[in-house]
Chain A
Amino acid sequence: MTDARTAELRGFKEVQRLAYACAEAVAARLRPGVTEREAARMQREWLRARGVRDWFHLPFAWFGDRTAFAGFRIPLQFFPTGRRLEAGMPFILDLAPVHRGFTADVGYSGCLGPNRLHGKLLADLEAHRELILREVRERRSLREIYEDVDRLMVRQGYANRHRAYPFGVIAHKIDRVKERRWSPHVFGFGTQSLKGLAGDALHGHRDGWSPLWSPYRFSDHPPKPGLWAVEPHLGFRGTGAKFEEILVVTDSRDPEQSAFWLDDDLPHVRRWAEAV
């Protein structure tokens, strides 16, 4: 691996750590009565204070049965609402800051107080992290991997909730973003990042691949080298849990190097390790 490549990965790793640090800091400050809007603002302010000026998307916060996207029909329902947190309620913080031109997109699932069902969902996400990495290394088509994740969820007894995301994606490509003094966003998504995604989509359309990892035909291709923000999202009767982190896919012939998780020192991974 070249030095430039290593430096680039380090940049992504740093911003992903920053994003997870933000999620953990905000999660620790959540109390009964806090609204989704307040939680989203806390994330925004925390990251602004640490130099974040642009976003892939503005921070989201979902509480209670909104973690499982119960009754979601239109994309506007993803935006934070006045729903207040209560004891025992699950929550998800989803944030995607751009820092020094590097993008991260992370999802943090937590719960206010003990909730055994939520713990079970979180524990069951581990199998999905392993399955995705294994099948990406096998260079299976993204659509097939999507279907395998779907089947595993059904076998576990859960519903696939990433299907509710735009285009039903389980993952999307992320990339470096040019730093501009003015970085507007539309519908919560940074214009610079959207531009990058649109460019990828255009190129991909010509070459037969897509930056969106979906259940549809346009994702019927082997994994494309690059950085993918992978976000399997489980739902079970009003309780939802997800993780989101960066998967690095390269064109190396060595299976180990052909795909790997950017960072293995993340809250959900540490949690699984502690449980063992």
Chain B
Amino acid sequence: MSDRYEIRFAGSGGQGVILASVIVGEAAALFEEGWNSVQSQSYGPEARGGSCKAEVVISRGEIDYPKAVSPDLQVILTQKACDEYAANTKPGGIVVLDDFFVTELPKVDAEIIHLPIVRTAKEKLGRELVTNMVALGVAARVLEKKGFLKPQAVKQAVLGRVPKGTEELNAKAFDEGYTMAE
């Protein structure tokens, strides 16, 4: 699977994990050169509260299977999602966990990064709504370190997606996440 890099965002419906994955996919497809990307999601019929996962596969080549087989990077925002998905991380991969909702850490052969994603959105930025943008900032830093996507490309995709008038708040949330992952 070395020809592809798989990223999964998982949490609860309403946390914005689908949008986060769309933004990473868009960053690769539209704001970088020479990357292909495919984004997909899985969720139930409820509008909020159900389990939700969203995945992006990026590759320099053609992407056949559109879903993650064993994600290289996971960003997980609830304990339920952590219990369900963390074990599936690619050996040697990275799992980013929110420290407010995920308190029991998984035993996995992967680097665990435990960060105040939800708390930063809620307490520092005053809007839990921007949790996904903080998470995206973290993911962007990881993807930069791995030499895949430039954080500017991800930020550009953020600004292209969020509603008018909220750019500043979302950009700030993204920056908070990015710095947090240093």
Q: Do the two chains bind? A: no
